[in-house]
Each structure stands twice: as C-alpha cells, then as structure tokens.
Amino acid sequence: MTGGPTARAHARAMGAPEDLDHCPFMPTYAPPTVQFVRGEGSVLWDREGRRYLDLLSGLAVTSLGHAHPEVAEAVAEAARTLVHVSNLFGTVPAAEVALTLDRLLGGGGQVFFCNSGAEANEAAIKLARRHGGWGRYRVVTALGSFHGRTLATLHATGQPAKHERFRPLPEGFGHVPWCDLDALDAVVDDTVAAVLLEPVQGEGGVRPATRAYFEGVRELCDERGALFMVDEVQTGLGRTGRWFAHQHFGVVPDVVTMAKALGNGVPIGACWARREVAAAFEPGDHATTFGGQPLAAAAARAVLAVMEREDVCQRAEDAGRRLGEGLRALPAVVEVRGLGLLLAAELAPGIDARQVALDALAAGLVVNAVTPTALRLAPSLLVGDDEIAEALEVLARVLGEHERARPVVPA
C-alpha cells in the first residue's frame, strides 16, 4: 500500500474500489466524510441511503434545489438537440439568457459567457485593463475578499495567506480594508483601471457592505475615471432578496460578474458590462471554448424562468428573515450576518465552527464553517418553512451540546 491510511480512507469516501490504495483525486480538498448520490429539492442522500437536509446548496449554487424538474428537462432536451457549436456561431438559448440578464440588471449592457465565477472575474479584469488603456491597469479590491483561484483572481482576492505558495503572482492588484472609503480614496489614482468589490464578502465571513460605502465607491470611481466592478458570483440572482445584491445599495456598477446560481449546478458564468465599457473589447481580445454553449445556456434559461415565476427575491427575503430570527435564538450564536438567504452565524468564543459543521453533518444537516468561528447557511431559494424549522432544530441540538462543553473563555 503506497497511499497510507489517510489516502485509503479518502479513496473509500470517494467511492473508489476497495483494492485501490490511493485517492484518484488531487488533494485540493480535505478528505470528504460523505459521498452523495442523489438529491431532490433541499434533500440529499448518501450511498448508504441516509437522508440529509441541505442548507448550503453546493455553496450557493443549487438555488432552485437539487434535480429541479424543469431544469433537468431543459438539460435533457438540449442534450438531445444541440450541445455545442463554439462561439463562432450564435444559439438561441445564449441570446435569450443574455437578454434576460441585461434586463434584470437594468438594461444597457452586454454579456460575455464563461464557465465559472473565476473566469467571469478574469474577463472583468481583462476588460478593465482594455478599457483603461496603457498605464491604467491596476485593480483594487478589499481585504477579506474572494474572487477566484486562477493566478489573477487569486491575487485579486484580498487574503494574503492564500498568495504565499503561488508567488510570483501577476502584478497590478492592490488591497484596502473592507468598507473603508478613506483607504480606497488614498490609493485610487490614474494607474487604477477598476475597483472590484463583493456586495457581501462571502468567503470572507458573510460580511455585507453598506449603502453609504457603495455610494461612496461609485462617486469615487466616477471622479477618478475608474470602473466600479461588482463580484456577484455568490450573491447574484435572488440570493440576497434582490436580483443582485448591489441593488440593495442603489448603485449601478459598470461591470457585474456572476456564476453559481445561474445554472443551478450546470457550470456557467457571465460577465455583464455597460455597452460603452464592453465596447473596449474587440474580436480576439478574449474568448472561451465552452462559454454559453447551448446545454449550459438552456439550463440557465430554465433557471431564470423558474426564478422569475417563483419570485425568488421575495422568497429569499421572507425565508431569510425567518431563518435569521431562528439562528439568533440558538445556543452559542452571538451574531447573525448577511442578506436574504446568505447568512453566517457567529459562534461564541471557544466553539469551533468546523467541528459544529461536522457534527451537524453527522446529524443529517449540511452547512459549512465559512470561518473558524462562523457557520454559513445558503439554502435553496425555494426552501420551505418546515425545512427551516428542521434545520434550526438540528442546530439547536448540536450547538447546545457544544455550549455545554465549551471551556470558559475570559472576557
């Protein structure tokens, strides 16, 4: 055996054959404790047939729940009809999705399709540099932000600890404290092509911006001639109670990126920009083989149709209020942050959020530790009241056990 006991356990957890002595996957994630084989709505089942309530939605991806019948049918029909033709040609689903996204963003823009949030942010960064011209190439982001794992989006990510092992990183990125307009004002000069911010820092601990901050950023960018780009990869498409989270703050960005919820699990991302900004691109400046291909676009078209019909923005606002109120009443929860159905429950000192998430999983509930001290919840936008009640009951039990066992931490 060459892989060691940890590697073999990893292999078993991933469903590898019993005689395989190593995991077939690169070790970019911690070894999983569960292998899921089926999902329906907000429920998952593992290969032993055990049921789990999913309040994470694949990290805010399956916003209509698992195996939504209309999305499944759209994907099946696309697979039978037209899967791929390349972006040298047009397709009906891609055009319809682009028009819908532009409408939801207020109109006057154009869309570039890709396959993920990181790729959407890469497109935005390249567009900013192309728009800025020679000498205006820098992109400023916030500390605590997360914009992707490619080399450029990794450097855009305001988490220096994630940078160290991959240096040297592409130049042209700067970071300022979150929600600090004075700090931003001090660095946006005539070398800065764009400011790129999340309306809610998702991986940074679910930390919303404020209206005053976003209004100030918009004003500052206008004054200095920089683009204001908003990363809505985790927050977009109804998650926060608006179609896009920046709409809470009453500003109109120059560029908006999105992904996760757009395909309800089918990989698709998009970068939207105002037409006069998008015009900086010329044929050959940017491309992707699979972006907006008919199968992914057909899934997105079905997702958007269901979202509009079900009024997911209102549902997220109402369900998020109920879930937030329930979380605040739980043992060991000292703060609840977020908007709509993207929430974090900050735990009392001495309680390890990672262990709480593992214990919740063992009890049949899927959440995750977005930081060592906070749980993240991002359920389906169609989550029911009974499912929220069930999740709160599980968390009350798990957190109650941790509260009773936690050491006394000095004030």
Mean pLDDT of the 15-26 span: 72
Question: Of the listed 112, 113, 146, 249, which one is catalytic?
Answer: 146
Q: Residue 189 corresponds to which amino acid?
A: D
Residue 29 class from Cβ within 10 Å (0-12 exposed, 13-18 middle, 19+ buried)?
exposed
Mean pLDDT of the 162-187 span: 97
Mean pLDDT of the 202-210 span: 97
Question: Of the listed 54, 231, 254, 359, which one is catalytic?
Answer: 231
pLDDT of 25: 81
Is 25 tagged catalytic? no
Is 260 tagged catalytic? yes
Residue-wise pLDDT for 56-79, tens only, equals: 999 999 999 999 999 999 999 999
Residue-wise pLDDT for 357-409, tens only, equals: 999 999 999 999 999 999 999 999 999 999 999 999 999 999 999 999 977 75
Residue-wise pLDDT for 99-112, tens only, equals: 999 999 999 999 99
Is 146 tagged catalytic? yes
Has residue 1 got a pLDDT over 50? no
pLDDT of 99: 98
Per the prediction, the chain carries an average pLDDT of 95
Question: For the chain, which domains are there?
Answer: 11-67+311-405 (3.90.1150.10), 69-310 (3.40.640.10)
pLDDT band at 2 (very low <50, low <70, confident <90, very high): very low
The sign of the CA dihedral 96, 97, 102, 106 is positive
Q: What is the DSSP letter of 348?
A: P
Distances (CA, A) of 384 to 10, 158, 264, 318: 34, 35, 18, 11
Please answer whether residues 118 and 149 qualify as being in contact, where contact means their C-beta atoms are separated by less than 8 angstroms.
yes
Question: Of the listed 214, 228, 254, 260, which one is catalytic?
Answer: 260
pTM above 0.85, yes or no: yes
